[in-house]
Amino acid sequence: MASTSLKFAIVGGGLAGLAAAMKIAEAGHEVDLISVVPVKRSHSVCAQGGINGAVNTKGEGDSPAKHLDDTVYGGDFLANQPPVKRMCDMAPQIIYLFDRMGVPFSRTKEGLMDFRRFGGTLHHRTAFAGASTGQQLLYALDEQVRKWEVGGKVTKYEGWEMLSLVLDDHQVCRGLIAMNLQTLELKAFKADAVIMATGGPGLIFGKSTNSMTCTGSAVSACYQQGARYANGEFIQVHPTSIPGEDKLRLMSESARGEGGRVWVPRKDGDGRNPRDIPENERWYFLEEKYPAYGNLVPRDIATREIFQVCLEGHGVAGENQVYLDLTHIPAETLTRKLGAILEIYEMFVGDDPRYVPMRIFPGVHYSMGGLWVDFEQRTNLPGLFAAGECDYSIHGANRLGANSLVSCVYGGFVAAPSAIDYAKNVERGNTETNGIYDAELKKQREINDQIIKNEGGENQYKLHEEMGKIMTDNVTVVRYNDRLQATDDKLRELQERFSRISINDSNLWATQAVPHARQLWNMMQLARVITLGALNRNESRGAHYKPDFPDRDDENFMKTTIAEYSDEAPVLSYEPVDVSLVEPRKRDYSKGKAAK
Amino acid sequence: MNTDQHREKRRLENPSAKFKLKIQRRENQDASATWETFELPYRRNLNVISALMEIRKNPVTVEGKSTTPPVWDMSCLEQVCGICTMVIDGRVRQSCSALIDDLLLESNSDTVTLQPMSKFPNVRDLKVDRSKMFDHLKQVHAWIELDGSYDLGPGPQISNEVAQERYAYSRCMTCGCCLEACPQYGDDNYIGPQAIAQARLFNMHPTGKIEIEERLNGLLGDDGIGNCGNAQNCVQVCPTSIPLTRAIYETNRDVTVNALFGWLKK
C-alpha cells in the first residue's frame, strides 16, 4: 500500500459509521465498510423527531452553551462535559452540512430551515424533516458515501457481520474478522485502525424500540477482547411505546402533550371493551398520584409509574399494557395535530386511536452506555475507535430527545480524523503480524463449527426470549438489588444452557441460526455488564432508579462505571466525571429548570 | 386514516383458533421452489413477521414434519427500512406492516401465502438480493456534489413547498415494490421508477440542478426512462405513496428540454 493512503475498517453503516466513512474518504484514505444490512437500512432510519443544534434562528438567544447546559443537566451530571461542549459547538455546522447535502428539512416562510421545540429545553433547537428525520439524515450520508464508493475510496461489505477484532501481541487492534451472512465465509479485514459504529444493544431486552440488527454483538466482542465498556447500566426506557408481538414501536410524547390520558381498569383483568368501562371504574393513576402535572409528569416518572402498575398486575387484561386515551378529544383535532403518529398506531395495531384507546407500555429505547472512549473517540485498545450509540460519551445518565442524531454524526466526525491521526503516527516497531489474522480466523471458525455441531436440544430463540423477559422485568425501570442478583444468576444459567443449543438448521446456506447464536452469546455477556453495573450502583440517577436508594449520590457515584471482561464476571471500577464546565446541581423538572 | 367520520375497523368475526401460513421455500439460488404450510394459533395483533418468528422457534409443518427455519430479512419493523418486503397473498408489500387479521379478512380464507419478490435473485426462502437497486442509484448520480464536508454555512434557501415535494421523493426506502409490480422491469432492460424518482429528487434541488445532465445521462441508455410503459402499477404499490408517475413525467420533460438544449449548444 502506498505510504500516503491508509486503510480503515468501519463496522456499522448508520449515521456514525457513514459520517466517519465520508470524512476518511474525503481525506484521501480507504475504507472497508462492514454492515449486517445494506447501510441504507440501518437503525438510524427509525429516528423521527429531529436533530438538535443551537442555530438560534428564532430570536430566542439560544446558544451552544445553553445546549450544553440542557444536555448535561438532562443527563443528570454523569457525562464528561468537554466532549458534550464540543458536540454542542459543532451541532449548528452539522445541521448546515446536512442542509447542503439536500436533506428536505422543513422550511420557514423565508425558505430557511425551521426548528421546533423538544423535551428538556425551552428553545426551538430541533431541525426536522417531516416525521422521519433520522431516515432523511441517513439517506444524505448514504448518498455521499455512495459517491465515494463510485470514486473507489469506500468498499462496502453489506451482509457481513463482525465476529472479533484482530489484536497483535501488544493488544493493538490491527483489523477484524467478519462473517458473510450468506455463505458463512469468514474473512480477515486488515486495517490501520478500526472504528466501531454499531449502535445500541436493545435486543438484549428481547423486545425494544430498536431494529432487529441492534444486538450490540460486535461491541460485546470488543469488550470480551479487552475493550472497556462504560455506564452499561444506563438504559433509557421510553414511557409510551406500542407493544407488538415482534417489537415495541414508539408512540410520541406529543400524544400526552395534546391531552392524552393514561388509565387502567380499576378491576384487575377486566376484559371489557374500554369504551364500555364507565368513568368511575377507570384508574387514572398518573392524575391521581400527581394532581399538578397529571399525564405530563417527566418522562422518567411516567415510565416508572406505568411499569409499576403493570408489575403489580393492574395492567389491561393482566398484561403489560395501559391505556393511552385520546378518544375524548374531537377526531378532527387529533387528525390535525397528531395525524402522522396516529397513523403508525393504526397501521400496526389496526385500531384507530381517535376512537379506540391506545394500548401502550414503556419500551427499552436507547443505551447511554457503550464502549469507553476518551475525548477523541479512542477506546482503551490502541487502533480501536468508537462513535455513535455504541460509545458512552455524551448522554450521561439520560439522553435528551433529538440529541442522538447529532451525537452520532459528531462521534463519526471526531473519530475519523482521530483514527487518521493515529494511523499516521503509530510506531509499529517490529511487531509481528504474520499469523495473527490466520490465528484469529481459525479461532472464529472453531466457534462456528462448535455451534453447528452442538446437539443439546436447547432452542436459542427461546433462550433469547427468557433473557429478554428477565432483563425487561428486573433491569429496566425500577431496580432492586435482590432481583438484579437473581438476574445475574439467571444469565449465568442461560450461558450454561447456551452450550446445549441445537441450531435446527441443516441448511447452512444463508442460515440465520449461526449468526443469531453468535449474537446471543455476545448479548448475554453485555447483559451481565448492564445487570452488575446496576447492582453495584446504589443510588438513583437519570434512567437508573432504585427505590431502596432513591437519591442521587454525587459523592460516591458521580462516576463513570467501567466494566472489563474476565471469564468469571465483569470487573467493575469507577472513574471520576469531568464536570469542569457546568457545576452539578439537583435535577428537578417539576419547578421548571433551576437557574444556573 | 379516514379523516371525516367514525368508522370501526373491520375485524375477523369469530376467528378460528388457528390459521395457516403457506411459505414458498428454496434452499438456495439454484434449488427449485417448494411449498411448506405451517399452522399457528391465531392472535389478533399478529403480523407476518411475528408469525414467522413463531415458526422459527419450532419449525414443524402442518403435516408434522420437522423442517428448517424459514429465512427472511427484517430490521426496523416500522415500515421505514424496507428490508422485509415480500409478496403476501399475491401482493408485494412490507411484511412488518401486514397484519394477519387483515389478510385473512381480505382473502376470506384461513391461509396467508408468502413468496419472495420475483424480480430479484432469490437467496433462500423469502430473502432476495436487491443490490442492483443501489447500483441504479449510482447510475443516476443520486447525490449532491459537495465541494467538501467542511463548514461552509447553510445550503440554499428553498421554499417549504419544494422541500415538501422533495421530502415525498426522499422517503423512498429502496424496498423494490415498484419494480416488482412494474411489467417493464426485469432482465436489466429498464432501470425502473425508484431510480428515476431519486434522480428527480436531486434535480429539483438548487445545488443538485447543476449536475442534472449527469443524472439524465444515466437515464438515456438502453435501460433508460424510455422503457416506461405507463402501466402505473408502481404508484399503486408504493408503500410510502411516492408520486412515481409524476417523477417519470417530469424527468421525461427534463430529458426533452435537455436534449433540445444540448442540440442547440452544438
Residues of B in contact with A97 (CB under 8 A): 149, 151-152
Closest residue, chain A, to B139 (C-alpha)? A150
Residues of A in contact with B8 (CB under 8 A): 355
Q: What is the CATH number of the domain that holds B261?
A: 1.10.1060.10
- B82: its cell numbers: 424496507
Does B164 lie in the same domain as B112? no
Does B123 lie in the same domain as B135? no
pLDDT tens digit string along A127-165?
A: 988 878 999 999 999 999 999 999 999 999 999 999 999
Q: How far is B117 from chain A (nearest CA, A)?
A: 17
Of the two residues A196 and A593, the one the predictor is more confident about is A196
pLDDT tens digit string along A486-507?
A: 999 999 999 999 999 999 888 9
Residue B11, domain member (yes or no): no
Residues of A in contact with B145 (CB under 8 A): 147
- CATH code that applies to domain A239-362: 3.90.700.10
Does B121 lie in the same domain as B44? yes
pLDDT tens digit string along B163-175?
A: 999 999 999 999 9
Residue A511, chain B, CB below 8 Å: the answer is yes
Looking at residue B265, its pLDDT comes to 58
Among A343, A349, A506, beta carbon nearest to B1:
A343
Average pLDDT over residues A287-310: 84
ipTM: 0.96
User: Above pLDDT 90, what percent of chain A?
Assistant: 81
Answer whether B134 sits within 8 Å of A40, measured CB to CB.
yes
Average pLDDT over residues B195-202: 98
Residue B10, chain A, CB below 8 Å: the answer is no
Q: How far is CA A270 from the centre of its chain?
A: 36
Residue B2, domain member (yes or no): no
Average pLDDT over residues B16-26: 96
Residue A480 pLDDT greater than 60, yes or no = yes
Residue A1 pLDDT greater than 60, yes or no = no
Residue B53, chain A, CB below 8 Å: the answer is yes
DSSP-derived secondary structure letter, A113: B
Residue A458, chain B, CB below 8 Å: the answer is no
Distance CA A478, CA A550 (A): 11
Does B254 lie in the same domain as B140? yes
Lowest mean pLDDT among A177-186, A333-342, B2-11, B119-128: B2-11
Residue A589 pLDDT greater than 70, yes or no = no
Does B87 lie in the same domain as B31? yes
Answer whether A111 sits within 8 Å of B157, measured CB to CB.
yes
Does B136 lie in the same domain as B124? no
pLDDT tens digit string along A532-572?
A: 999 999 999 999 999 999 999 999 999 999 999 999 999 99
Does B187 lie in the same domain as B124? no
Residues of A in contact with B127 (CB under 8 A): 510
pLDDT tens digit string along B47-103?
A: 999 999 999 999 999 999 999 999 999 999 999 999 999 999 999 999 999 999 999
Mapped onto helix, strand or coil, the DSSP state of residue A520 is helix
Residue B121, domain member (yes or no): yes
Q: How far is A128 from chain B (nearest CA, A)?
A: 11
- Residue numbers of the domain that contains B170: 131-148+155-265
Answer whether A136 sits within 8 Å of B58, measured CB to CB.
no
Closest residue, chain B, to A145 (C-alpha)? B143
User: Above pLDDT 90, what percent of chain B?
Assistant: 88
Residue A28, chain B, CB below 8 Å: the answer is no
Residues of A in contact with B170 (CB under 8 A): 103-104, 129, 136, 139
Residue A96, chain B, CB below 8 Å: the answer is yes
Residues of B in contact with A246 (CB under 8 A): 47, 49-50, 53, 77, 96
Q: How far is B238 from chain A (nearest CA, A)?
A: 15
Q: How far is A591 from chain B (nearest CA, A)?
A: 36
Model confidence at A319, in pLDDT bands (50, 70, 90)?
A: confident
Among B74, B101, B144, beta carbon nearest to A102:
B144
CA dist A220 → A201, A370, A565, B202 (Å): 9, 9, 10, 40
DSSP for chain B, please give it.
Answer: ---SS--PPP--SS--SEEEEEEEE-SSTTSPPEEEEEEEE--TT-BHHHHHHHHHHS-B-TTS-B-PPP----S-SSSSS-TTEEEETTEEEESTT-BHHHHHHHHTSSEEEEE--SSS-EEETTEE--HHHHHHHHHTT-SPPPS-SS---------HHHHHHHHHHHT-----HHHHH-SS-STTS---HHHHHHHHHHHTSTTGGGGHHHHHHTTSSTTSGGG-----HHHHH-TT---HHHHHHHHHHHHHHHHHHHHHH-
Model confidence at A591, in pLDDT bands (50, 70, 90)?
A: low
Q: How far is A174 from chain B (nearest CA, A)?
A: 28
Residue A305 pLDDT greater than 80, yes or no = yes
pLDDT tens digit string along B127-138?
A: 999 999 999 999
Looking at residue A441, its pLDDT comes to 98
Parse chain A into domains and list their residue ranges.
Answer: 239-362, 435-551
Residue B247, domain member (yes or no): yes
Tell me whether the CATH fold assigned to A239-362 matches the one assigned to A435-551.
no
Residue B9, domain member (yes or no): no
Does B208 lie in the same domain as B137? yes
The CATH class of A435-551 is: mainly alpha
Residue A216 pLDDT greater than 70, yes or no = yes
Average pLDDT over residues B174-203: 97
Residue A425 burial (CB < 10 Å; 0-12/13-18/19+)? exposed
Count of structural domains, chain B: 2
Active site residues of A: 299
Model confidence at A595, in pLDDT bands (50, 70, 90)?
A: very low
Q: Rounded mean pLDDT of chain A?
A: 93
Residue B188, domain member (yes or no): yes
Q: What is the CATH number of the domain that holds B92?
A: 3.10.20.30
Residue A592 pLDDT greater than 90, yes or no = no
Residue B3, domain member (yes or no): no
Does B123 lie in the same domain as B48? yes
